[in-house]
Structure 1
């Protein structure tokens, strides 16, 4: 009886070690992939069946070590992994390449400029350059903002396939201020305008005292990789002021894209 228990314990330990090895192998291939990778491609790379990869991916995703890219639905390394190694911020290269352009825009307009990236559940701000004004934007650095009431979030939503957008709009849209658009059809019209104009705006929708405008940043494969945003207090940066900055924001986004080649 004791020998049987030892064998069962040994088998469980062996199975656990194998699962860890497979999970680490998946992390390795995801990290080495130049773009988000699908489960099917990942299964071929690691030579495991799709069911096994799905199970391991699900565990890694629940712990934040991998995450699904919202547009391609491929998997990339998650933010939790990089929190373990503060010396290896995955966004350092992007921040470094965009910094000069962000600073030039901040100096030119005199308002706060942010750089952010799309996440499955919102928008993560990876860099923020503030002005010297005593009244300015809240510090959004390293925080995740909602999609439906932010200028960069609206851009992401406007680029989603219709079926995926429908699923999001079926959910309750939380009001963050009295100006937050919570009616799905009204938001859908706003997103159509965002898609056409290629810029997103938020007029007091996240914080009724703040207005912002964003432009998308794509890599050379036309994958959405980031957003550049300019924002400030509504008494100083009005809706009309923002709309006048549309071309300038698109120009700044293009300048950052050129740095990604």
Structure 2
């Protein structure tokens, strides 16, 4: 029990450091955690020995050590776009009441890696692992529009399968469509892959503004009127930006 209590005190000491307070003296740490300086010094010696804290010899202040950066790298290596996106997709699904999904770029196509299904009886169900064409539908075109221009043009030249009468299969028309998506930063499509469906999607980026995938929403056209469409679009764009910001901070 004493060992557990000591560990908790040590963790509490480390948690006193923050962006607003990156360095502190032993006296300041003791005051912050409410422990005598004699006890604080034992913790500080141990933390310094193992690289969790470092001490500035001139000021006497302690700050977080480089060993914690190594641990941070371990944490970051386990965090992928799916992990980052899940809570945001859940919130978007609750807001919209429609099916939302996360799609990632994989070679010359997209893949649905996570989805939140609409609670409505009449819905489009997300299929984890489903291959998504990049040239048709909101999920794919919101990725293709932001890919490298040369790669984009290769895909636009086809072959382009026609899924419905509304699928764009003319390369030049598709390129102009992608240019529009690029300019506005999102896409709304109707019946390009499935008859009766409406899709809204926005890209997700990583470091160097490289497109990683997209967040998309789909539902029956008759259920999403113009007012709902605008509200959902704005929330989806905000969601994609939140995920992008997280991925960039993680160096992905």
Which structure 1 segments of 5+ residues have no match?
1-89
- In the TM superposition, residue 243 of structure 1 has moved relative to its aligned partner by 4.5
Indicate whether 1:106 and 2:93 are aligned. Answer: yes
Residue in structure 2 matching 1:227, options 214, 222, 228:
214
Cα distance per residue 1:53-111 (max 9 Å; x no partner): xxxxxxxxxxxxxxxxxxxxxxxxxxxxxxxxxxxxx9973222211111111111111
The structure with the largest alpha-carbon Rg is: 2
Q: Is the 8 A contact 1:169 1:184 kept in 2?
A: yes
Indicate whether 1:122 and 2:109 are aligned. Answer: yes
**Paired residues for 1:180-219 under 5 Å:** 180-219=167-206
**Paired residues for 1:121-160 under 5 Å:** 121-160=108-147
Q: TM-score by structure 2 length?
A: 0.62
Query: Number of paired residues?
Result: 172
Residue in structure 2 matching 1:254, options 224, 227, 241:
241
Residue in structure 2 matching 1:170, options 154, 157, 168:
157
RMSD: 2.2
- In the TM superposition, residue 145 of structure 1 has moved relative to its aligned partner by 1.0
Distance 1:135 1:219, change over 3 A: same
Q: TM-score by structure 1 length?
A: 0.60
* Distance of 2:239 and 2:204 partners within structure 1: 9
Which structure 2 segments of 5+ residues have no match?
1-76
Q: Is the 8 A contact 1:217 1:224 kept in 2?
A: yes
Distance 1:178 1:240, change over 3 A: farther
Q: Is the 8 A contact 2:204 2:211 kept in 1?
A: yes
Distance 1:240 1:172, change over 3 A: farther
- In the TM superposition, residue 203 of structure 1 has moved relative to its aligned partner by 0.9
* Distance of 2:242 and 2:148 partners within structure 1: 27
Distance 1:162 1:253, change over 3 A: closer
